[in-house]
Amino acid sequence: MSSIWEYANPKKFIATTNRLLPWVAGLALVLTTVGLVWGFFLTPDDFRQGSTVKIIYIHVPSAMMAINAWAMMLVTSLIWIVRRHHVSALAARAAAPIGAVMTLIALATGAIWGQPMWGTWWEWDPRLTSFLILFLFYLGYMALWAAIENDDTAADLTAILCLVGSVFAILSRYAVNFWNQGLHQGASVLRAGALAGDTEERVSNVFATPLFISMAGFLLLFVALVFLRTQTEIRARRMRALLARERMI
Amino acid sequence: MPDLGKYAVEVLSSYGVSLGLLAVLVIASVLRARKVKAQLDEVEARSKQDG
């Protein structure tokens, strides 16, 4: 039986992800398109929020992936720290720009949505603030990778930064539960009561079905981009090693 | 096109900004992947020639 650690071999990782990439990318494109087209064109306005409810099909999936990308980076950083597999460190590096873009989309769409609903683009609310700090952590993480020439040292230091930043990733997710204050609403999409079928808690299926499809699309888009970008990082690392060898001859 | 009423600017700008950012991310990732692969092929060919 094959072990997951076989994929720590760069050649095995590239061969496997090359086979999976077209399917994951294709499915991501289909689900994202269906979710967004369904949400934009085929759902009614909310009785309170009007047509701004359509922003949910982008805002929620991007916010979900902003946090989950950091969670993935945390896991791969821990694997690097414990087992020293280069592919895991490079996968974390590959995921950071994707997470940063997802965080930026969540912040931008949140501000655009907030203006008509709350009367302000921005509020130093626990969830909004923790998301902004998470975005700054993404930028710092990418800058640290770029600033350090030695790959192993960069992987070590960025892994530590990732562990520290995880506090804000967790706060981004649970801030509304920790501090019951601020403008941002509490968790509503995956609330326990909603999942248990409580109709009082549940987001109407009219909105929930395209939202879940869009969330699945964003998740697969993230996976496809991580596959592609990790392959690129593996190749870039090999190229740096070969060029260094050339210089020594 | 659905009638977005008085919030048309907010909804359309949200979709525009988001899809634009996603497009930039995807295109940049694909272009860099191609560029790095081509550069590596060149360096590997050179290192094979040099023995």
Q: What is the pLDDT of residue A105?
A: 98
What gap in Å lies between CA A121 and CA A98, rounded to an integer? Answer: 24
Taking the CA of residue A51 and the nearest CA in chain B, the distance in Å comes to: 5
% pLDDT > 90, chain A: 67
Chain B partners of A225 at a C-beta cutoff of 8 Å? 25-26, 29
Under 8 Å between Cβ of A86 and A241: no
Question: Token pair of A106, please?
Answer: 């969540």
CB-nearest to B4 from A51, A62, A98 is A51
For residue range A86-108, list pLDDT tens digits in order: 999 999 999 999 999 999 999 99
List the helix and strand counts (H, then E) for chain A. Answer: 7, 0
Residue B30 to chain A, least CA–CA distance (Å):
8
- B12 falls in which pLDDT band (50, 70, 90)? very high
**pLDDT tens profile A40-65:** 999 988 888 889 999 999 999 999 99
Contact across the interface for B11 and A54, Cβ inside 8 Å:
yes
From chain A, pick out residues whose CB is under 8 angstroms from the CB of B47. 242, 245-246
Q: Which residues of chain A make contact with B24, given a CB cutoff of 8 A?
A: 101
Nearest one of A184, A156, A189 to A171, comparing CA atoms: A184
pLDDT per residue as tens digits for the range A123-143? 888 888 889 999 999 999 999
Domain regions of chain A by residue span: 10-248
The C-alpha atoms of residue B26 and residue A66 are separated, in whole angstroms, by 16
Question: A211 with A57: CB under 8 angstroms?
Answer: yes
Place of tokens 């997802």: A102
> Which tens digit of pLDDT belongs to each residue from A184-209?
766 666 554 455 555 555 677 888 89
Q: Mark A159-176 as b/e (b = at least 16 C-beta within 10 Å).
A: bebbeebbebbbbbbebb
| Closest chain A residue by Cα to residue B45 | A242
Neighbours of A152 (CB within 10 A): 12
What average pLDDT does this structure show over A14-31? 97
Closest-CA residue of B relative to A221 is B26
Average pLDDT over residues A8-21: 93
Query: Looking at residues A7-27, what average pLDDT do you find?
Result: 93
| CB within 8 Å: A239 and B15 | no
B-interface mutation test, from A21, A46, A235, A248, most B Cβ less than 10 A away: A235
Q: What is the dotted CATH code of the domain comprising A10-248?
A: 1.20.120
- Does the pLDDT value for residue A183 go beyond 70? no
| Interchain proximity A36–B25, CB inside 8 Å | no
Q: A160 to chain B, minimum CA–CA distance in Å?
A: 26
Residue of chain B whose Cα is closest to the Cα of A43: B2
Q: What angle do CA A84, A88, A94 make, to 5 degrees?
A: 140
Q: What is the pLDDT of residue A5?
A: 79
Q: How far from each other are the two terminal CA atoms of chain A, in whole angstroms?
A: 42
- Confidence grade of residue B33 (pLDDT, cut at 50, 70, 90): very high
Q: For the whole model, what pTM was predicted?
A: 0.91
Average pLDDT of every residue of chain A: 89
